[in-house]
Structures are given as C-alpha cells and as structure tokens.
C-alpha cells in the first residue's frame, strides 16, 4: 500500500508527516521491519535520539520518528518518508497490524472434538481436533479452542477468548472475554498446598477459584494455580510472559506485565500497572504497590511501596542498588587497600 494510505489509516496519530512537505514522496510500502534490517519498501521506526545514527544507515522507505526536527531533516535528506509521533513504538505496533493478522480459524466444531452434552457452547465458536470439553463448561460466543485443548468441568470461557493448542484449563476456572492463553499454559491447577504432620505431608485440597478478568494474556508454559479457598485473580489487561509461575491465592491488578521465568509464591498481592522483569521472584504474602517496578532477577522478600523501583537479591531500592553495584566492582581494589592497612597496623 502507499505511504499515504498508511497515514490515512492511522488517523490523528499520523497527522504530522512528510507528505505535507513533499507530497510526491509517497513510496509503496510492502511490509514492516526492524530499522537495521529494513529494505526498500519497508516501514520501520526510530524510538529516540539515541538511535539517530540509524536514520543515515537504514534502507527503509519510510520511518516512524519521534517529534524531533533533526531526525526529520535527516530522513528528508535521504528521501525517506516519515511520520512523527510522541510514541513511535506504539504507532509501529499499530502499523504491523496493517500487514499481518494472526491465524484465526473459521467457526466450526471438528468431528474429533469431545464435548460433554452438558457443555454450553456459544455461537461462532471454533473447536479444533481432539479438544476435550467436559461437563458444565461454558464457552462464550466467538471463542477459539485450538487442537488438543482440555477444559475441565465447571470452567467458563469468555467471548472471543483464544485457547491455543495444548493448554489446559482446570475446574473452577473463570476466564473473561478477549483473553489469550498460549500453548502449554495451565490455568487453575491445584496450588502447592501441603501441611506438615508427624507422619509426612497432608495434602490440603484446593477448593477455590482461578479468575482471569477480561483481556488477560498468558504466555506458553506458564501456570496460574487454584487456591485452597477464595480465589487467585488476574486483573484485566494484564500480560504474563512464558514460563511464569503464579501461586495459589495471588491477586494481580490490572495492566501489569510479568516477564518470563518470574515466580510469585502464594498469597502475593500486586497492584495495578506493576512491571516485574525477567526472573523476578516474590516471596509468600508480599504486597507490591501500584506502579512499582522490579528489574531482572530481583528477589522481593518485603513489601514494595507504590511507584518504587527495586533491584537485586534481596531487592532494595534501585538507587541504592546502583551504589552498591559500584562499590562491588571496586571490592578487589578495596581489599588490597585493607590488606595493606592491616600490614601497616601490624608493624606498629
């Protein structure tokens, strides 16, 4: 499609663009690519002045730029069409959707699917080969159940939700509308509840519920556990990466992001808009306030205040962590100074 057509489809987000300066500079755009891999016909983006050098190196035909006159001038000098926006990455994400849409099967029920007579299946639903839907399950309109999905009794799946191949939805699970559960994920399995006794571990039955509110996305091979009582709840529009463990009874707020290999022990409470970077670990019953952030490999053993940024193992405020890291790098030098001082003291 023409660059001008992309500008039109983006609406108000793309009103600041090179067509107002050079209307004849209207290349044919055939796809999207990273700026350092883009070729003629590609649309790409520059996130900020930090990547300014790439404007003079890229082979892209069009760029999404920050509102930076210098970058825009550089693009014009090279004959590259541009759109300027306060959030280039966001606009680029929307541009990708103009060229790619994920596979979406047409509504049907495959003859090899096993559906219990008591299950309630909405309109325009796709159920793929060898899917198993057990008694009293409810599936909303427009849902997509890919091959080999297993849905245990008394689970509810909201409208337009997508369950990818080989994920498992256990009993007492409630999944809202417009959710995406990726392959291998397990939602609502028994939490890790065992009570020590003189003769060994007594299994505490997990009779609670697992609730995913609308718009939640769960990555491949992640697990969200069912509690003994009450519920494990994931707030609306929260996104969870691959290989994440969320323990029984956790309460996660809305619009959170939890990156891969993170683990939350039982009873953790996470506010809204919280970000946990990769391999973060959160101890039992810890509370994390709204808008807090944890950098990669943080070990969170104590409550985190709203808006606070923490790092390290155990996690401390990020500014303190940076100071400690700077000292850590100087430990060999400091140790030599200490040994020298010891020798001097020993001579006196």
318 is catalytic: no
Pairing, β 42-45 against β 62-65: parallel
146, 164, 170, 248: the active-site residue? 248
Instruction: Give the C-alpha separation, 305 to 127, whole Å.
Output: 44
Give catalytic residue positions. Answer: 248
């Amino acid at each position: 499609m023409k660059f001008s057509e992309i500008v039109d489809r983006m609406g108000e987000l793309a009103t600041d663009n090179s067509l107002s300066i050079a209307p004849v500079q209207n290349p044919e755009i055939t796809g999207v690519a990273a700026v350092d891999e883009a070729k003629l016909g590609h649309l790409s983006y520059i996130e900020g002045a930090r990547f300014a050098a790439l404007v003079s190196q890229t082979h892209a035909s069009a760029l999404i730029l920050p509102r930076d006159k210098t970058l825009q001038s550089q693009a014009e000098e090279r004959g590259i069409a541009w759109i300027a926006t306060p959030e280039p990455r966001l606009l680029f994400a929307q541009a990708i959707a103009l060229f790619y849409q994920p596979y979406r099967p047409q509504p049907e029920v495959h003859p090899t699917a096993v559906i219990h007579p008591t299950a309630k299946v909405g309109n325009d639903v796709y159920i793929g080969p060898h899917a198993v839907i057990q008694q009293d399950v409810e599936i909303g309109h427009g849902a997509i159940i890919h091959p080999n999905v297993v849905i245990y009794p008394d689970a509810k799946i909201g409208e337009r939700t997508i369950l990818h191949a080989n994920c498992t939805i256990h009993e007492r699970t409630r999944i809202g509308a417009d959710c995406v559960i990726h392959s291998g994920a397990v939602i609502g399995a028994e939490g890790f509840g065992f009570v020590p006794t003189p003769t060994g571990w007594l299994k505490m039955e997990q009779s609670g519920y697992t609730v995913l509110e609308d718009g939640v996305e769960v990555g491949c091979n992640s697990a969200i556990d069912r509690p003994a009582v009450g519920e494990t709840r994931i707030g609306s529009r929260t996104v969870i990466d691959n290989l994440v463990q969320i323990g029984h009874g956790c309460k996660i707020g809305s619009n959170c992001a939890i990156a891969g290999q993170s683990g939350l022990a039982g009873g953790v409470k996470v506010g809204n808009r919280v970000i946990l970077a990769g391999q973060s670990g959160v101890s039992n019953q810890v509370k994390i306030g709204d808008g807090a952030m944890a950098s990669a490999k943080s070990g969170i053993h104590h409550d985190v205040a709203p808006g606070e940024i923490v790092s390290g193992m155990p996690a401390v405020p990020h500014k303190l962590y940076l100071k400690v890291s700077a000292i850590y790098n100087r430990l060999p030098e400091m140790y030599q100074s200490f040994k020298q001082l010891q020798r001097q003291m020993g001579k006196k």
